[in-house]
Amino acid sequence: MADSDVLTTLKILIIGESGVGKSSLLLRFTDDTFDPEQSATIGVDFKVKTITVEGNCTKLAIWDTAGQERFRTLTPSYYRGAQGVILVYDVTNRNTFAKLDMWLNELDTYSTKTDIVKMLVGNKIDKEKREVSREEGLNFARRHTMLFIEASAKTKDGVQCAFEELVQKIIQTPGLWEM
């Protein structure tokens, strides 16, 4: 039997400012590796990973930006049909936190599903330096009805949880899961 016969495929996006660690989070999640020299130019287009959440075997097609976010906007086709989005900022760089509103606006403009599930991820918590507190991240997420987690692509903290909680919420959302 082909995969498509048994698995529901979900489209997940990773968005946020350039350099916050989107590609690193994706690589950590799919390949369990971290490359400190991660170059913006070798960003992947998308990766596929199958996970089981609460007994539901789910195939995730996770879309990375391949560096396009440097132009501060992504194409409408990037957003089309996505059930979940991971919005990333860098806890050591306040500017990336300040840009979250811009990314949410773009998401609202282009998302074709109004009930798309959103996960806010504060990345790079392994670093000594910090410019955005956990409370600030949590408050932002609450204000915008998002899930929230702090993470480190370098140490793995929170990475698996971020994807699993997102998928769990999608499964619980009628109209997103059963199509």
Residue 46 CA to residue 91 CA, distance in Å, equals 25
Partner from Mg ion, ligand GDP, none binding residue 12, C-beta < 5-8 Å depending on class: none
Total number of residues that touch Mg ion (CB under 5 A): 3
What's the min distance (Å) between Cβ of 105 and Mg ion? 21
Does position 43 interact with ligand GDP (CB under 6 A)? The reply is yes
Partner from Mg ion, ligand GDP, none binding residue 152, C-beta < 5-8 Å depending on class: ligand GDP
Does position 30 interact with ligand GDP (CB under 6 A)? The reply is no
Does position 66 interact with ligand GDP (CB under 6 A)? The reply is no
Residue 148 CA to residue 47 CA, distance in Å, equals 22
- Which of 23, 58, 83, 152 binds Mg ion (CB under 5 A)? It is 23
Considering Cα of 97, then 70, then 37, then 159, what sign does the dihedral take?
positive
Does position 58 interact with ligand GDP (CB under 6 A)? The reply is no
Contacts of residue 173, Cβ cutoff 8 Å, sequence gap at least 6: 115, 117
Q: Which is nearer to Mg ion, 14 or 176 (CB)?
A: 14
* Distance spanning both ends of the chain, measured CA to CA: 20
Nearest of 76, 70, 75 to residue 96 by alpha carbon:
70
CB 87 within 8 A of CB 146: yes
- Which of 16, 21, 43, 158 binds Mg ion (CB under 5 A)? It is 43
Q: Where on the chain is the footprint of ligand GDP (CB under 6 A)? A: 18-24, 36, 38, 40, 43, 123-124, 126-127, 152-154
Q: Where on the chain is the footprint of Mg ion (CB under 5 A)? A: 22-23, 43
